[in-house]
Chains A and B, each alone.
Chain A
Amino acid sequence: MSAAAVAGENPLRRALRSGRVVVGGSILLILLFCAVAAPLIAPYDPNEQDLLNALKGPFWSDNAEPGFWLGTDNLGRDTLSRLIYGTRVALFVAVCAAVGTMLFGTMLALLAGYFGGVVDWIISRAVDLWMSFPPVVLSLILIVGFGVGIGNVILAIILVDWTRFCRVVRSEVLVIRRQNYVDAARLSGFSHLRTMVREVLPAAAPLIITLMSLEMGIAVIVEAILSFVGMSVEASIPAWGVMIADARNYMYQSAWGLVLPILAIVTTVLAFNLLGDGLRRTFDARLQQH
């Protein structure tokens, strides 16, 4: 492959040639559709109880009940509808938390990596401090402090995971900073801000995009963990973690009630990871050509 073709090519088109990106992206598009169109496609209200039809299995199992495609939980709520509505919380938290961590983490990483010295020292020590908490423990403490609710969950994830961004992007910025073109920009009269935005940031952008995709997957997991221990959204909002926690007590009667939300989480995280992995490979291939 000639360098000429690579440099001029639209990165998006290149990314779309990666199987991982296509598969991950397609799954995410379907999930996004479910989240947006939940009231239209869900057969039931997710909180509607039907105690006569509790703990039914999905349509392929023995104790299936027509109408409840994927069965019901212990209160007779329709599993399919709850799964569909669950994408709302998952994706909303994923997107908001990832954007938040990206903004916060990247900003600090840019400052630390670009200026070095004292700025870098302070930010690096803050990262060390944060990293001395296991993420689950820290997010739990933060939620205890803030109280439950979707906004607080997002805030907690941002406050826990910015370090992940900051560490990785900082070392990338350090590498970019050593490139002579950054010095050259300064010698052309660029201000620090302009140098950062025009020269450093675009070089780090592929990494940032990749990390963001992975971070969305992580946010889905953290939200699920918090709802699993009952510390995420209000009880009336259907979330996958809550479904798992409910179904755990009845796993002998209805294992599918536990398996399905687990699959939902794994599929979503897998989609984000495939997308991130595919993007990373696309960008790596680009860089190898240079």
Chain B
Amino acid sequence: MSLLALNDVNVTTEAGGRPVDVLRDVSLAIGRGELVGVVGESGAGKSMVGRLIAGMLPRGFAASRGSVTFRDRDLLAMAPRERTGLLGDAIAFVPQHPMTSLNPVLSLGAQFDEHLRRLGQEGKAARRERAVAALDSVHLPRPADLLTRFPHQLSGGQCQRALIAMAFAGKPDLIIADEPTTALDVITQARVMELIDELQRDSETGLLFITHDLRLAAQHCQRIAVMYAGEIVETGPAAALLGDPLHPYTRSLVAANPGIGGPVRRLTALPDHMPGLSGFADLPGCRFAPRCPVRDEACAAARTALTEVAPGRFVRGAGACREAASAAAGQGDLPDAEIAAAAPILSVSGLGKTFRSGRDWLGRRRAPVVAVDGVSLDIAPGEFVGLVGESGSGKSTVARLLLGLETPDDGRIVVDGQDITGPFQRTAKQRIALIQMIFQDPQSALNPRQRIGRLVTQSMEVRRPPARWPERLERARDLLGQTGLPQDTIGRYPVQVSGGQRQRVNIARALCTAPKVLVADEIVSGLDVSVQAQILNLLLDMRAQRRISMLFISHDLSVVRYLCSRVAIMNRGRIVEQGPTEEVFRTPQHDYTKALLAAVP
């Protein structure tokens, strides 16, 4: 008998006046001591599973069908008081955002004390002892000292370790970890996952691991359930599922993931994006049908069920889906980048920037921060160079320096033979024509009050002589075409298009002045895998057609490997290693590079 079992659960809400099943026919089981992954893109409903088990569905959401049995009792039929009693004690949680999940005005000790007292531990001294032991078990140094600290005095990794310690402190039967490492840097992420593995192995605790990262789940879980649009489309043993995906969606998920080893192949990207909540109502049949490469007319109306195809492997949909899918899956080769041996188009030497002085709210002088220290970098025409580093490594400052949004203290920036090192005002004219930036978050980078047609041709507004509207319109159409956007988006506002389309708009704007060099700062990190693959392929096509050069800033090694022929690894403001991507990845020289590569799932 499983520890926890969801049996044909529907969670329903109302959208646009119609009832919508946010979760549909969800069945899932976790045994004692088992680690089960739930994988899906944002909006697939995977977090809703966690909230359902916790009994904390958002207002207006309710379970309308099925049962959730935990230790042989139906949670949905349980009195709210009793259900709350289980939380923290029998069912514990590890949150997504460790830094904000601890109360900022209470010391770590106070929060541990509250938790242990609730678990029934008598005596302040005894609770303290248990707290110290718990922090020790997650390998936090000097635990007694840590208890006097406040959350803002800890790093993200430390916070997450403390929260994990809290979750395991009551020896719960079940732990639900919702994206526990997403907010952390790659190396910390790997260590925290190791810790979870270790603690879980030593206990009888069942663990539900919710993530968007199929590879990460496959690495740590025994079984995986893949979700799409509120349904589980496939479940099975982790290795089998990753090695031989059966459902067309799982296949495309695997195919859209660049990976860190093996030959580099062109990614197959699904068209379009997962429908939003209100879109579910229009999909009475197979919810994946509109994007499915092997759909037929019947799919849109046919409700599909999970069927067992091999022991422990369940797949949603008819047999035809699986056979047709395997036939359709073929990956093309990547067009090789043709890199001219000519003089570099962008040449950066000895770039340095220190953020000085500044006082905090209380008038205390802040320590100067060396953000960028002696960075040198060349990019050839038509070359994509990756700049890899964790948050705070200074990689975004490099981008701002290149664009002139900050003025460097040292060094020179030369684009196409022209020195553009000086302050923005003086070099604006050359910069605008030569080098442009694609910002990370299109939500923030696109003024929500302007229509897309105007946004993408923004730079024509200040041209001398000023561009006339028909001319701008024509250019906007051209740019939308180049970036694969439908022509009717020209008159829309950014909120009216999907996240992936917004990122295309963002790219289109950067292309407007036909620059020689693009600087892209983490432009795919906010996107789901299938949309990410679309954007990556778009960038490759742009390189093939326009021989544009790009500095591609990212923390994601597999994406950099897919896109860039050369890579520079940045740590604490310095470039610690650079060279051809394959070479660096195969034989890393610097310890930091080795640690980074080892941390990739």
Interface residues of chain A, those whose CB is within 8 Å of chain B, are 2-4, 6-8, 179-181, 183-191, 194, 199, 202-203, 289-290
With A7-B448, A179-B444, A180-B439 known as contacts, the answer to whether A185 contacts B496 (CB < 8 A) is no
Find residues 273-306 in chain B having any chain A CB closer than 8 Å to their own CB. Answer: 278
Interface centre among A4, A184, A289 (most CB of B within 10 A): A184
Residues of A within 8 A of B463 (CB): 189
CB within 8 A of A180: which of B445, B449, B461, B495? B445
- Beta-carbon contacts under 8 Å, B457-502 to A: 458-459, 461-463, 492-493, 495-496
Q: Is the beta-carbon distance between A181 and B462 smaller than 8 angstroms?
A: no
Instruction: Determine the chain B residues whose CB is within 8 A of the CB of A190 once the complex forms.
Output: 458, 461-462
Known: A180-B441, A203-B447. 17 other contacts (CB 8 A): A3-B495, A6-B495, A7-B448, A7-B496, A181-B444, A181-B445, A181-B446, A183-B403, A186-B424, A188-B462, A188-B512, A188-B513, A189-B428, A189-B429, A199-B447, A203-B449, A289-B495
Report the separation of the CA atoms of residues A183 and B431 in the bound assembly, to the nearest whole angstrom: 14
Interchain CA distance A190-B16 in the complex, whole Å: 41
Decide yes or no: A188 and B458 within 8 Å by CB, A3-B496, A4-B496, A290-B495 being known contacts.
Answer: yes
A186 to B496, CA, bound (A): 25
In the assembled complex, B353 has its CB within 8 A of some CB on chain A = no
Please indicate the chain A residues that have their CB under 8 angstroms from the CB of B512 in the complex.
188
- In the bound complex, what is the Cα–Cα distance between A289 and B448 (angstroms)? 11
Query: Are the CB atoms of A7 and B495 closer together than 8 Å?
Result: yes
A187 and B436 form a contact (CB under 8 A): yes
Q: How far is the CB of A94 from chain B (nearest CB, A)?
A: 29
Q: Which residues of A contact B404 (CB under 8 A)?
A: 187
Chain B nearest CB from A20 CB (Å) reads: 24
Choose from B403, B447, B495 the contact partner of A187 (Cβ within 8 Å): B403
Contact indicator A184/B496 (Cβ below 8 Å): no
Given A203-B449, A289-B495, CB of A186 within 8 Å of CB of B405:
yes
Q: Are A180 and B428 in contact (CB under 8 A)?
A: no
- With contacts A8-B493, A194-B462 known, is A184 near B445, CB below 8 A? yes
Residue of A nearest to B463 (CB): A189
B433-456 CB contacts (< 8 Å) to partner A: 436-437, 439-441, 443-449
A3 to B443, CA, bound (A): 14
Task: Determine the residue in chain A with the shortest Cβ distance to B439.
Answer: A180
For B431, the closest partner residue in chain A by CB is: A187
Q: Which residues of A contact B16 (CB under 8 A)?
A: 2
> Are A189 and B447 neighbours in the complex by a CB distance under 8 Å?
no
Task: Give the chain B neighbours of A191 by CB distance below 8 A.
Answer: 462
List, in ascending order, chain A residues with CB within 8 A of B513's CB.
188
Chain B residues near A290 (CB-CB < 8 A): 443, 448, 495
Contact flag A202-B449 (CB < 8 Å), given A184-B437, A187-B432, A187-B437? yes
Residues of chain B with a CB closer than 8 A to A2's CB: 16, 278
Please tell me if the beta carbons of A7 and B493 are within 8 angstroms of each other in the complex.
yes
A181 to B459, CA, bound (A): 13
Nearest-neighbor residue (CB-CB) of A181 within chain B: B447
Q: Which residue of B lies closest to A286 (CB)?
A: B448
Q: Tell me the bound Cα distance from A69 to B478 in angstroms.
A: 72
Residue of chain B at shortest CB distance from A121: B359
Q: Are B493 and A188 in contact (CB under 8 A)?
A: no
**Closest Cβ–Cβ distance, residue B499 to chain A (whole Å):** 12
The answer for the CA separation of A181 and B437 in the assembled complex, in Å, is 11
Contact yes or no, B444 A180, CB < 8 A: yes
Provide a sorted-by-A list of 8 A–B residue pairs whose CB atoms are within 8 angstroms. A7-B448, A180-B439, A180-B445, A181-B444, A181-B447, A188-B461, A188-B462, A190-B461
B509 at the interface (CB under 8 A from A): yes
Distance in Å: Cβ of A193 to nearest Cβ of chain B: 11
Complex CA gap A170/B479 in Å reads 36
Point out the residues of chain B lying under 8 angstroms from A8, CB to CB.
Answer: 493, 496
CB of B495 within 8 A of CB of A189, answer no
Give residues of chain B (208-246) contacting chain A, Cβ–Cβ below 8 Å. Answer: none
* Docked pose: A3 CA to B444 CA in angstroms: 16
Name the residue on A nearest B438 (C-beta).
Answer: A184
Q: 10 tightest A-B contacts by CB?
A: A180-B445, A188-B459, A7-B493, A180-B439, A188-B458, A181-B447, A3-B495, A180-B444, A189-B462, A189-B432
Instruction: Tell me, rounded to whole Å, the shortest Cβ–Cβ distance linking A190 to chain B.
Output: 6
Alpha-carbon gap, A4 to B497, bound state (A):
9
Instruction: Kindly state the separation between the CA atoms of A289 and B449 in the bound complex, as whole angstroms.
Output: 13
A181 to chain B: which residues have CB within 8 Å?
Answer: 444-447
Instruction: Return the chain A residue nearest B445 by Cβ.
Output: A180
- Cα–Cα, bound, A181→B509 (Å): 11
Q: Are B440 and A180 closer than 8 Å at their CB atoms?
A: yes
Q: Which residue, B404, B448, B463, has most C-beta atoms of chain A within 10 A?
A: B448
Q: Of residues 408 to 431 in B, which have CB atoms within 8 Å of A's CB atoms? A: 424, 428-429, 431
Closest to B424 in A: A186
Complex: A37 Cα to B302 Cα, angstroms:
71
**B363 CB → nearest A CB, Å:** 12
Task: Determine the distance from Cα of A184 to Cα of B513 in the docked complex, in whole angstroms.
Answer: 13
Given contacts A188-B462, A189-B432, A190-B462, contact A183 B405 (CB under 8 A): yes
The residue of chain A having its C-beta at the shortest distance from the C-beta of B464 within the complex is: A189
Which residues on B sit within 8 Å (CB–CB) of A187? 403-405, 431-432, 436-437
> Residue of B at shortest CB range from A3?
B495
